[in-house]
Structure 1
Amino acid sequence: MQTLDRTLWPAARLIRRSVAVWRRSLHLRVVLSTLLLSALVTVFVGWILLRQVTDGVLDAKVAASVGEASAGFRTAQSAIDAAEPSGDPSELTTQLAQDIALRGASGGLYDVVLDVLPAVGGSQTVSRSTRATVLPTSVPSDLRAQVRGDKVAYRYTLIRRASGNDVPGLAVGSQLHEPRSGATLNVYYLFDLQQQEETLNLLRRSLVAVGVLIVVLLGCVAWFVTRQVVTPVRLARQVAERLAAGLLDQRMRVRGQDDLARLATSFNQMASSLQRQIRRLEELSRVQRRFVSDVSHELRTPLTTVRMAADVLYEARQDFEPGVARACELLQAELDRFEALLGDLLEISRFDAGAAALELEDLDLRGLVRRVVDGARPIAARKGSRIDLHLPQAPAIAEVDSRRIERVLRNLVINALEYGEGRDVVVRVGGDDETTAVSVRDYGIGLKPGESAMVFERFWRADPARARTTGGTGLGLAIALEDVLLHGGWLQAWGEPGRGAHFRLTLPRTVGEALTHSPIPLVPGGTTEQRLERPRVSAPGAAAGGVG
């Protein structure tokens, strides 16, 4: 069986390559389709032409043969009727057979077979040919049965010769009567159709040669015509691929003034418009990133001064009146949030500029998750929630940037506490040979349909009217998504109103490996929505959906 499989491998590879070439090449498909259709049309037309010519040639031969045989039959019957009576009637038929044989032999156009049927009470039927080389069996049996009265009948047959060199022929038969003795003579003329057969064979060979030549010429014409059309399309594809690769200055060459030239002109105009729009957007994005970065950096200095002054006031709040002391506390809290916002803006600007880099290390995520949960327990206590941590027995090792993944997990846990309505939050860690995952489940307000596609957008909130109590900036999940994408992982969300929300972080064991699954289900409880388990996150917009 293995030997058979190895034998079939080259054939399977050849078939796969042929199918791939067929699918990729429009030029090949058009040419082969043209060849196939041309061959079918040529075969059909050739068959009709050959059929008409064959019928014409054979019909003409049949008409001439039947006419000649009919004249011979009439002459023979007249000779029988005019013959003088003799003592033995068979002598007349024998003499007549010899005369017919002589005429047939002298003409050289046909052979004659005679069946002498004696009168009632006579001897058995005698069948003989005028030529010793022709066998009487050349007359078809159905023609012998059909010859009755004065009717002339004919059949196509094979003239059998004693030498074995059989040739196609036409048998024409009729019945003659000797009125005095009651004897009957069946006469069959055998006409040679070998010349017609050779003519038709020559015609067949000519049609085949002409048909093959026509198909080849049509294939060449199709190749040439298709090339004129496919070449500009292929060039357009190449230019489009270069444009997609970022080479925005690529253009198609315009030749002539036909439809393809107009297509190339329109394509170049579209490319120029896209280039202008992309450059304008790049410039706007560059200005925006520079603005955010510059503002963030510029705010650092006055923020530091304000922070120093606020720290002094906060430390001395015990000496102030209650209203002033409360204002110092509020000022300290808002400065903390302002600093966090500036830090997030700077981080976002680094992501936008493509300057973010990873500091990778092999880390057991169980310890990292435990540290994040321990740090969030005071917030959980204030919220009246309890964090339920589920860790596997085996290590959950992954190649990660610990600072970024810790920030992702902190955001997920704090968000779960923020929107968990005081209920328990479940944090779970799982892993297998290829992936490692961490999920955070809350039982709070949940997410409405479609909100799982927006939860990772910047400054988006599930409930805009809800007051934030944990000092968030609105950029936490957006930054978390960027951090996860840097690792080549998935960050996904699921939620239902009244059932809470479930966030799942999935990372490959090694950065750069492709993810195909997650060890933790995205939809809790294994509901029918488990089909969301097939992720296809490859860009922030897609990842924001949290579904696969």
Structure 2
Amino acid sequence: MSGQEHAQDRDGTDTADERRGIFTRLRLTSLRLRLVVVFALVALTAAVSASGIAYWLNREAVLTRTQDAALDDFRREMQTRAAALPLRPTQTELQRTAEQMTGGGDYGVVLVGENAEGKQIAGVSDRDLFTMEDVPASLRNAVDDRQEVGEGNPVAYHLYWQRIERDGEPYLVGGSRIVGGGPSGYLLKSLEQERADLASLGWSLAIATLLALIGSALLAQAAATTVLRPVHRLGEAARRLGEGKLDTRLSVSGTDELAELSRTFNKTAASLEKKVADMSAREESSRRFVADMSHELRTPLTALTAVTEVLEDEADALDPMIAPAVNLVVSETRRLHDLVENLMEVTRFDAGTARLVLDTVDVADQVTACIDARAWLDAVELDAERGIMARLDPRRLDVILANLIGNALKHGGSPVRVSVRPGEHELRIEVRDHGPGIPEEVLPHVFDRFYKASASRPRSEGSGLGLSIAVENAHIHGGDITAANSPDGDGAVFVLRLPIGAGGPGERETTGSGDTDRGNDTGADAEGRGRGEDGAT
């Protein structure tokens, strides 16, 4: 991957982080918004319901009071004035009586009767205000309808009323007839003042509803803040805990559900801290044991190695019956020596004590030296231009290349091709073989320690640590190694990527302390750390 591609990846990661931050803020905001909306809806429903009921009750009370007062006054006037008229009054008598019935009030009266000739006549208090044409036919019919007089109905005629609207204004129309004969009377009362009063009441209730809504929103905001503040603190504490700050705790007060949640979080964090501390202590003890064991084994192994070298030199002169046993001892002693050295290297990586000894080198020369030192020139094709300079640890690069190339030679197919390609910010070294490739289920484990691709052969010539050490050496440079099968199905491809001008995270360069690593020539016999031990077949 080129440096430009790296930059794109970083930009993509930053963008994803920004999106996650925005989504987090939106989620928090939406939770606050939901609380405010719920409070507002509850308050709005309650306020509207209360206002509606209050308006309806007041409307009925106002209209009923006005209407009853007008109808009662009209009934009295009919009983005192209209009933005093002759059975067949004249036009003048009806007119005068209608005017007297209003009494200068705010309603109009129409009296309807028959004169001496049997002709229907009418008297109106104010012809511009109220005439018979303004009386609904249904009301006239009801007033003229004679009822049967009985136990439950002592009179034949009753007072009826109806609310109408004329020219956009509300009116009350009532009517009755004199019992025993006489004129019929009709009343028209304006309800405009009552409508204005009710409109004013409606506006007052609407303003009260709006104020209640605003007040509920403010209360909801305060309540949401009260609820979300501990939730936010809990989220921040969880984030710090996820970052590895296991001593994070929340201050707890109160006995509500959020306080109980905070107590549960503190108990969980304390339990997690204890378990991690126990695991770290066990891991440190295990690393110390492996390191101590490896150091203790080096002294006897040094003596054994010297003896096996003597035996190997004298192998040709030994009895043919003894020679195979001697060769087995020699090979197993070397294998044990490599295993001890690899374990020591692994403990350095685990303990974080592995260091780089950086130098500016020609990568093509380093690859050529690695291949030549192991006599692989006939089996390896090298595609690398001289002059590709990089700042690396030459010994660790040799370890990486020896393990990758040796793995390809042992488990792949010849020829093995090694190509070196420089990028803007990184170096790419590809090792490709022509073997059967790596099974898909094995690919995720090729760099695992002691991974065996086949359980039927748990013992092999290698230590099972070669590829894992190779990838650790790449990581300490700030690079990486990936494994995949060739797209054309012809072999496996391992790709090493290293930064050209840096020495890994926070460049670590030493001049003397690097001696602590020099006893481990991990790649010297890398052919023993093949795919069978590190994950491939």
**TM-score normalised per structure 1:** 0.63
- Which amino acid is the alignment partner of residue 486 of structure 1? I
Measured against aligned partners, the alpha-carbon deviations of 1:345-385 in whole angstroms (never above 9, x if no partner) come to 22111111100122345666555445545556x4585xxxx
1:40, distance to aligned residue in structure 2 (A)? 0.8
Measured against aligned partners, the alpha-carbon deviations of 1:140-192 in whole angstroms (never above 9, x if no partner) come to x9x88878745654235788xxxxxxxxx522347999xxxxxx999743222
1:473, distance to aligned residue in structure 2 (A)? 2.5
Q: Give the corresponding residue for 1:541.
A: none
1:51, distance to aligned residue in structure 2 (A)? 1.8
Q: Give the corresponding residue for 1:341.
A: 339
- Which amino acid is the alignment partner of residue 337 of structure 1? R
- Which amino acid is the alignment partner of residue 204 of structure 1? A
Aligned pair partner of 1:494 in 480, 484, 493: 484
Aligned pair partner of 1:480 in 456, 460, 470: 470
Distance 1:17 1:253, change over 3 A: closer
1:338, distance to aligned residue in structure 2 (A)? 3.6
Aligned pair partner of 2:431 in 440, 443, 446: 440
Distance 1:494 1:171, change over 3 A: same
- Unmatched tracts of structure 1, length 5 or more: 1-14, 120-125, 131-135, 160-168, 178-183, 515-543
Partner-residue secondary structure (3-state), 1:491 = strand
Q: Give the corresponding residue for 1:23.
A: 27
- Which amino acid is the alignment partner of residue 205 of structure 2? L
Aligned pair partner of 1:416 in 403, 408, 414: 408
Q: Give the corresponding residue for 2:163.
A: 154
* Distance of 1:388 and 1:414 partners within structure 2: 13
Partner-residue secondary structure (3-state), 2:128 = strand
Measured against aligned partners, the alpha-carbon deviations of 1:273-294 in whole angstroms (never above 9, x if no partner) come to 4444433333333333223323
1:444-455 superposed matches below 5 A: 444-455=435-446
Partner-residue secondary structure (3-state), 1:488 = coil
1:405 aligns with 2:401: no
C-alpha RMSD of the superposition? 5.1
- Which amino acid is the alignment partner of residue 292 of structure 1? V
Partner-residue secondary structure (3-state), 1:504 = strand
> Contact 2:237–2:250 (CA<8 Å) still a contact in 1?
yes
- Unmatched tracts of structure 2, length 5 or more: 1-18, 113-118, 120-125, 143-160, 178-183, 506-533
1:415, distance to aligned residue in structure 2 (A)? 0.9
1:292 aligns with 2:295: no
Partner-residue secondary structure (3-state), 1:461 = coil
Taking CA–CA contacts closer than 8 Å with sequence separation of 6 or more, which of the two structures ends up with the larger relative contact order? 2
1:463, distance to aligned residue in structure 2 (A)? 3.5
Measured against aligned partners, the alpha-carbon deviations of 1:271-325 in whole angstroms (never above 9, x if no partner) come to 4544444333333333332233233333333333333344344445455555566
1:468, distance to aligned residue in structure 2 (A)? 8.6
> Contact 2:481–2:495 (CA<8 Å) still a contact in 1?
yes
Distance 1:44 1:409, change over 3 A: same
> Contact 1:447–1:462 (CA<8 Å) still a contact in 2?
no
> Contact 2:391–2:503 (CA<8 Å) still a contact in 1?
no
**TM-score normalised per structure 2:** 0.64
Q: Give the corresponding residue for 2:206.
A: 204
- Which amino acid is the alignment partner of residue 49 of structure 2? I
Distance 1:265 1:98, change over 3 A: closer
- Which amino acid is the alignment partner of residue 36 of structure 2? L
- Which amino acid is the alignment partner of residue 27 of structure 2? R
1:196, distance to aligned residue in structure 2 (A)? 3.1
Q: Give the corresponding residue for 2:528.
A: none
Bigger mean CA deviation after superposition, 199-208 or 237-246: 237-246
Distance 1:258 1:499, change over 3 A: same
Q: Give the corresponding residue for 2:197.
A: 195
1:342, distance to aligned residue in structure 2 (A)? 2.8
Measured against aligned partners, the alpha-carbon deviations of 1:64-119 in whole angstroms (never above 9, x if no partner) come to 45556667888689589859776xx6x7887677556x53xx33xx45599x9xx9
1:505 aligns with 2:461: no
Q: Give the corresponding residue for 2:128.
A: 128
* Distance of 2:98 and 2:267 partners within structure 1: 96
> Contact 2:382–2:417 (CA<8 Å) still a contact in 1?
yes
1:54, distance to aligned residue in structure 2 (A)? 2.0
* Distance of 1:481 and 1:237 partners within structure 2: 36
* Distance of 1:426 and 1:17 partners within structure 2: 46
* Distance of 1:489 and 1:413 partners within structure 2: 18
* Distance of 1:298 and 1:288 partners within structure 2: 15
Distance 1:66 1:280, change over 3 A: closer
1:53, distance to aligned residue in structure 2 (A)? 2.2
- Percent of paired sites with the same residue: 28
